[in-house]
Structure 1
Amino acid sequence: MRTATGALAIGGGGGSTVIAEHLLVAEHRLALCADDCDRAARRLRPLGAPLPGGVFDGSGTVAETAAAALARSADEIARLGTALRLALDGYELADSAVRTALDQLLAPMAGLVGAAARSLLGLVGGPLLAGLGVAAAGYALLPASSREAMDRSARDGLRFLGERVLDERTTTMMAGLLMPHVDDGVLGAIGVPPALALRLQSMMPSIDGAEPGSVAATAGVIAVLGAAAGARGAAPVEVQRVPPAPASSPPTPPAGLAGRVARIPDPAQPVRVEVYRGAGGAERFEVFIAGTAHDAPLGGEHPWDGASNIALVAEHDASSLRAVRAALADAGAGPASPVVFTGYSQGGAVATLLAESGEYRTAGLVTVGAPTGGMPVTGDYPAVTIGHRDDIITALGGAPEPTAAVLVTADSDGRQEGDGLFAAHELDGYRATAARADASEVPLLRDAVNALPRGGVGQETIDYTARRKDGTGAG
């Protein structure tokens, strides 16, 4: 398991740039200190006046001097806080300018790179396939001990790839920048002329609301190609309740971020709904949504697969999204029902799209490890998005767009023996990061956590399985 280390970085609340936690805490503490000094100065000033009829003993002068010193300190601390805020604002402007410049540079290059790759593959494709065939035949003829040694080397190579390449901040940063332009590269690689590619992209908003050059547009192109190949990312589904354990008891209300992330279920039963009743008798629903089932065949029976991932990032009505909607309806949630959505990875994308859909009275949103950079939150509800800087899965959603959600990021270090290829994406690591976020002193994050619903009397916990319906296509 990987656990996050180092300082958190926090942003959002209308922007997309994240800033180191200690700087935001310092700004907050400077403001508090300036207020304390100013308040103390105002309390001391009346003591500086001489007492009526009393003998002057100098105590008033001491109090007056102290009040003046405190007032000067309050001004100096306030100026220091203002200087820090200006520096942070300057960093945000610089970060935005760099991202814009890189985006404008990469956009026209992607199609050319795709076309060049297609031409190169046409030249070397035949010899490459022949070479792979010879290598496969040679591997089959090797003694068993030699094949085992090669397998060990391959596993070591995959671990190296995960540790030194995929689970690296530079890789995830570049992936976030490049993802919005993959559609240009894909169209160029399949031979679509640049003029026609531009025309297709200009049609994207009228098809599904995706802006050209966005991650959603990229995923939309991939989703169309996948649907043509039979990957049923948006096929209809059905859900079924899992019978509760005989000794099960009503749920206790979750607390903060960590309390919710701890309840995210396994993909075998990918949806959990908890029902609570408030003092006035109104019901509140908390839904917890699992991440991708990595062993699920693409477009197969299990809707938490890669096909649904593509459909979600394209902001289509993915099978997994349909399943959560069906589970909430079965549990009794309607358009007027307060719902708090919590999801991990693919479940985080589902949670974000449903929270923003307007189909429910969204009361909160918590996501971890989700590819939702291109899914900004605009609703008026508390929302927190947690990601690891070296998690390649979150980078597949593209660089974060300005959002009303609070963005929390952290480094994920400490690879251990037996870690998987995407160790920075593991749910256990995100549980630890959520606990650290709960303890943060940054007002923006603390206010969002405190605004999440709490309390109520637990009524029931309902777990659901889900499957795609047989014999259906995308719809």
Structure 2
Amino acid sequence: MTGEGPGDSGDILTVSGGGSTLVATDTLLAEATRLRLLQGDAEAWLARLARIQSLDSDPAAGPLMILPSAGMNVHAARSALGGVAERSQALADALISAAEGYGRAERMRDWGASVSGAWLGSTLGLLAPFLALAAVPGLAVGAVGLLVGGMLTGRRPGDALTDVAGWLQAHPRALTNPVLVAAVRVMVSSTDDAAAGRAGVPVPVSLALGDEGLGLLGVTTSAAGLVGLARPLGLLRETPVSVERIDAPARPLGPPHPGALLGPPHPGASLPGAAPASRPVAPPTGFGDLADRIPSVSDDAPQVRIERYGGPDDASWVVYIGGTAAWSPVAGEQPWDLTSNLAAVADQGAGSYRAVVQAMREAGVAPGDPVVPVGHSQGGLVAAQLAASADFNTVAVATFGGLTAQVTLPADVVAVTVEHTDDIIPALGGTATGDDERLSVRREVFAEKAVPVDQPLPAHALTAYRDTGRLMDGSAEPRLQEFRATLGEVLGAEAGESSRWRGIRLANDEPEL
């Protein structure tokens, strides 16, 4: 593992999940595994020495064990190896016990925070009219104060927003704080409880219907409610989408999928007989490679990269999906925007999801082909939703900084979710509701480093997650190594082909619901 110096806590990876109740650093879990291996080796040698000692009573064995020194040496070796086996077992048991205890404490903490947040949200929703009435005098006084202060100083009311932005820039750690991130996660998950409280639903009923109970209410329903309120105002309106391959002149990497959209070729599509312009690429070998190949999205850049490995009859694919490029609530020219963010969280067919599916089909991904979706931020959410759907044969998935907590993944999908504890964006997905087999890897990027002032949310940056991916590749944690092994088995060792795709929103007079 690398870092700024010995013991840099910003390089510590905390690993949990993966079908286990353990929560610990990757170093601790790797050490426990090494101790188990040492115990196994010592016990194997003890069995061999026992067979050697049995020769002492076998006349056909010869004079070897008749020598007193030989017998004493074997006895001493057995004693030493017995001590090694016993000690390594005790140490491994202690490490696993500590990890289990930490896991229980963390689950109790998360449960307590979730229930407390739900109760607080429900109470605030119930008291909302009274709180609003009580706030009127304060708002009036504040408005008069701003007006008078502006007249005396010449400042406009809008300058207050500039002051807030300036304060945040001067205090970059304000939004890069693990405590704030944890609080935001609970607050987001409590939005439905506040709405239920406002509707007069008792707290016990709200808890039973929410994330803590049946899961009928939660972040998904809250996002759906926000989208429903915004669309009549012309905001957050979904549209049809299309995709174009920007490696022109080129053709799809595989035979056309039966579900691919028919019609005139899109810009960048190949003409019959055109030579492919696919880019040869070596298969990714770990998390660092996966994160490095996720597109760095901007308004006019490709948002999707698709790699194909294997031959015509045994193709396998990696689909890399970038993060949000536009934050306006009005849908623009491309679907990696705020509209898709909210639609994806609301599970209402986000434009970015539909664009990825269309790109995959045009690239030639067949229903039975093994697929590994990988994404950052909004792309991580789309990758998780691909894995949760039956659209493709997803065998593994890796997400970096995605809002994936509310997406339940199938048990047969090998999944790794990477989040920075000082990254506020994944917290907007709320608390986890599913009990799936995903492996969760966490890291605090700026535990011992100054927060950059030239980035609004540096812990969410793709570059930071790429650093974390390289740290994961250097880890001896067994389950991280197993994911890399699975990647090698699915993709093979031969070079493949790469293509890049860009999603486009199409004009639509009516919102697509």
Q: Is this a same-fold pair by TM over 0.5?
A: yes
Instruction: Give, in whole Å, the separation in 2 of the partners of 1:136 and 1:248.
Output: 62
* Structure 1 Cα separation of the partners of residues 474 and 348 of structure 2: 36
Structure 2 counterpart of 1:83, from 70, 75, 94: 94
**Among 157, 170, 184, the residue aligned to 1:175:** 184
The answer on 1:38 being equivalent to 2:43 is yes
- Where in structure 2 are the equivalents of 1:22-171 lying within 5 Å? 22-48=27-53, 49-50=55-56, 52-53=62-63, 56-125=67-136, 128=139, 131-132=142-143, 135=146, 154-160=164-170, 162-164=172-174, 166-171=175-180
Counterparts of 1:161 and 1:418 in 2: how far apart (Å)? 8
Letter in 2 for 1:33: L
Query: In structure 1, what is the equivalent of residue 482 of structure 2?
Result: 447
What's the counterpart of residue 307 of structure 1?
A: 339
Q: Give the secondary structure class of the aligned counterpart of 2:12.
A: strand
TM-score by length of 2: 0.80
C-alpha distance in structure 1 between counterparts of 2:314 and 2:147, whole Å:
64
SS in 2 for 1:293: coil
Q: Is the 2:305–2:319 Cα contact (8 Å) retained in structure 1? A: yes
Which structure 2 residue ranges, 5 or more long, are not aligned?
Answer: 251-276
Bigger drift between 422-431 and 120-129 goes to 120-129
Shift of 1:129: 6.4
2:464 counterpart SS class: helix
Which SS does the other structure have where 1:212 is aligned? coil
1:469 aligns with 2:507: yes
Following superposition, the deviation at residue 197 of structure 1 comes to 12
Q: Contact 2:172–2:452 at 8 Å: present in 1 too?
A: no
Cα separation, 2, equivalents of 1:57 and 1:386: 60
Give the letter for the 2:358 counterpart.
A
The equivalent residue for 1:428 is 463
Contact 1:233–1:309 (8 Å) recurs in 2:
no
Give the aligned residue type for 1:240: E
2-structure distance, mates of 1:169, 1:422: 13
**Counterpart Cα distance in 2 of 1:390 and 1:73:** 41
1:405 equivalenced with 2:438 (yes/no): yes
Aligned to 2:255: none
**SS of equivalent to 1:376:** coil
1:383 counterpart = 2:419: no
Q: For residue 218 of structure 1, report the CA deviation from its aligned partner.
A: 2.8
Distance 1:379 1:128, change over 3 A: same
> After superposition, where does 1:287-366 map in structure 2 within 5 Å?
287-366=319-398
What one-letter code is carried by the residue in structure 1 that aligns with 2:184? A
More relative contact order, 1 or 2 (CA 8 Å, 6+ apart):
1
- Tell me, in whole angstroms, the C-alpha distance in 1 between the residues paired with 2:363 and 2:148: 55
How far apart, CA to CA, are the structure 2 residues paired with 1:84 and 1:17?
Answer: 10
CA distance in 2, matches of 1:130, 1:184: 31
Unaligned runs of 5+ in 1: none
Assess if the C-alpha contact under 8 Å between 1:267 and 1:290 holds in 2. no
1:346 deviation in Å? Answer: 0.6
Distance 1:9 1:468, change over 3 A: farther
Counting matched residue pairs gives: 465
> Over residues 7-50 of structure 1, what are the superposed CA-to-partner deviations in whole Å (9 max), with x where a residue is unaligned?
10011212576422222122111101111211222333344444
**Separation in 2, partners of 1:97, 1:27:** 24
Letter in 2 for 1:157: W
C-alpha distance in structure 2 between counterparts of 1:159 and 1:392, whole Å: 16
The alignment partner of 1:11 has SS state of strand
Residues 93-120 of structure 1, C-alpha deviations (whole Å, 9 max, x = no match): 3332333333333323312213434433
CA displacement at 1:153 relative to structure 2: 5.5
CA-to-partner distance for each residue in 1:378-437, whole Å, 9 max, x for gaps? 241322111101111111122334331211100111235433221111110000001111
Identical-residue share of aligned pairs (%): 27
Preserved contact between residue 376 and residue 404 of structure 1 (Cα < 8 Å): no
Match of 2:201 in 1: 194
Tell me which residue corresponds to 1:419: 454
- SS of the residue corresponding to residue 318 of structure 2 reads strand
Of 283, 287, 293, which residue of structure 2 is paired with 1:257? 287
C-alpha offsets along residues 134-187 of structure 1, whole Å, 9 cap, x if unaligned?
73796598679x99x9898544411255413x2111111122223221122245
Aligned partner of 2:27: which letter?
H
Asked whether the 8 Å contact 2:376–2:400 carries over to 1, the reply is yes
Q: 1:214 aligns with which of 211, 218, 228?
A: 218
Paired position in structure 1 for 2:424: 392
Which residue of 497, 505, 509 corresponds with 1:459? 497
Identify if the C-alpha distance between structure 1 residues 127 and 399 changes in structure 2 by more than 3 Å, giving closer, same or farther. Answer: closer
Q: What is the CA-CA distance between 1:304 and the residue it aligns to?
A: 1.6
Tell me, what secondary structure is at the counterpart of 2:410?
coil
Distance 1:249 1:133 in 2: 63
In structure 2, C-alpha distance between the alignment counterparts of 1:16 and 1:176, rounded to whole Å? 21
Distance 1:114 1:36, change over 3 A: same
Write the mapping of 1:268-283 to structure 2, written as runs, cut at 5 A. 268=299, 269-279=301-311, 281-283=313-315
